[in-house]
Amino acid sequence: MSETKPISLGEMLESFFNKRLIQQQNVSQNTINSYRDTWRLLLRYLVSEKEISMTRLSIDMVTAEVILDFLNHLETQRKCSINTRNQRRAAIRAFASHVILYEPKYMAQFERVLSIPAKNYEKKMLGYLTDEEMDCILSTFNRSTPDGFRNYALFMLMYNVGARVSEIISIKCKDVGTNQILIHGKSSKDRIVPIWPETAKLLSQLMVNESLDPDQNLFLNMKKEPLTRSGISYILATASINATKKCPTLQGRKISPHTIRHTTAMHLLQSGTDLNLIRMWLGHVHLDTTHGYIEADIKMKRKTLENSGISKPGKGYTWNPTDEVKDFLNTLGIK
């Protein structure tokens, strides 16, 4: 009886992207692009490390040791952040799970790959704008001009719904209702979000001003093409610089479209909105993601308290470790 021909690394990768990611999980194009870029980097690394051609790469070469070296290479040689390192690790873990499912003989090898831990890092505090700062940015747009009116409507909507910039770009005129709007979220997850009467009026007027059809994108540039991510970032960066004249606290700060999203979330939280409602409003899949806004809010309040000079001495029982415990802790480098 002839032996079954072992599956190649290329065949397994094709199966991973086509079967698991696209057919079974229906992941977003952004996820596919991220995973694709990870494997481009890893394959080039393997070719360099093993000193062989791309066609001779095999699944046996994707070991935990090699993956650890690759992740270290990303940090030390390519100067990637720890967050990027962890994203690359996630792409490799997804592939490892796929291999185990379809080729159980590689279980031991890829379980070791799965055991590689994520690297801890200090998360940056979420940046957001105060009511005054948001108002200052909005006030920079001259609503008497076509571009100024469009920009004002654009950022009023972004602040109203807290949408990702990719979601804003994809909104069509037919998605706009009288008091709500349809947002096309990540991984084909649509959601309906309420909008203020002022926002609804602005969007309605925008469609009339630019003679837009229902199937057209809501926000267009001078060429009557959909606004791009970079275009929106440029408009916001310019507005932020202009707003510093009225609002000095914006001086030197990097304000991105995602800052507007954080601003919406923080203002909803501070107004007493339920966390689950905020999660649905923003289109977060997991509540843990939304929970980050609570942590950021607490950090902001703690920082304010520390800067105020107010302190309250602690009273009560103080634990004094024994010599044995001290010795143990000292072995860990804790003084």
Q: Which of 150, 261, 262, 279 is catalytic?
A: 261
**Residue 301 annotated as catalytic:** no
Please list the residues that pair with 183 across neighbouring strands.
191
**Residue 284 annotated as catalytic:** yes
Instruction: Show the tokens assigned to 295.
Output: 């942590």
Q: Which of 89, 164, 262, 279 is catalytic?
A: 164
Residues 27-33: contacts with CB within 8 Å, 24+ apart?
27/187, 28/186, 28/187, 28/188, 30/166, 30/186, 31/187
Is there a contact between 282 and 159 (Cβ–Cβ < 8 Å)?
Answer: no
Closest CA to 62 of 86, 38, 29: 38
Residues 6+ apart with CB under 8 A from 44: none
CB-based burial label for 303 (10 Å; 0-12, 13-18, 19+): exposed
Look-up of token digits 């990637």: 80
How many CB atoms neighbour CB 122 within 10 A?
6
Please list the residues that pair with 181 across neighbouring strands.
176, 193
Is there a contact between 106 and 276 (Cβ–Cβ < 8 Å)?
Answer: no
Q: Which of 36, 93, 186, 291 is catalytic?
A: 186
**Residue 186 annotated as catalytic:** yes
**Residue 267 annotated as catalytic:** no
**Residue 229 annotated as catalytic:** no
Residues 6+ apart with CB under 8 A from 2: none
- The H or E element containing residue 194 is strand 190-194
224: left (phi over 0), alpha (psi -120 to 50) or beta: left
Q: Which of 36, 246, 258, 267 is catalytic?
A: 258
**Residue 35 annotated as catalytic:** no
Positive or negative: CA dihedral 41, 44, 46, 49 = negative
How many CB atoms neighbour CB 203 within 10 A?
24
Query: How many residues appear in the chain?
Result: 335
Q: Residues with catalytic annotation?
A: 164, 186, 258, 261, 284, 293
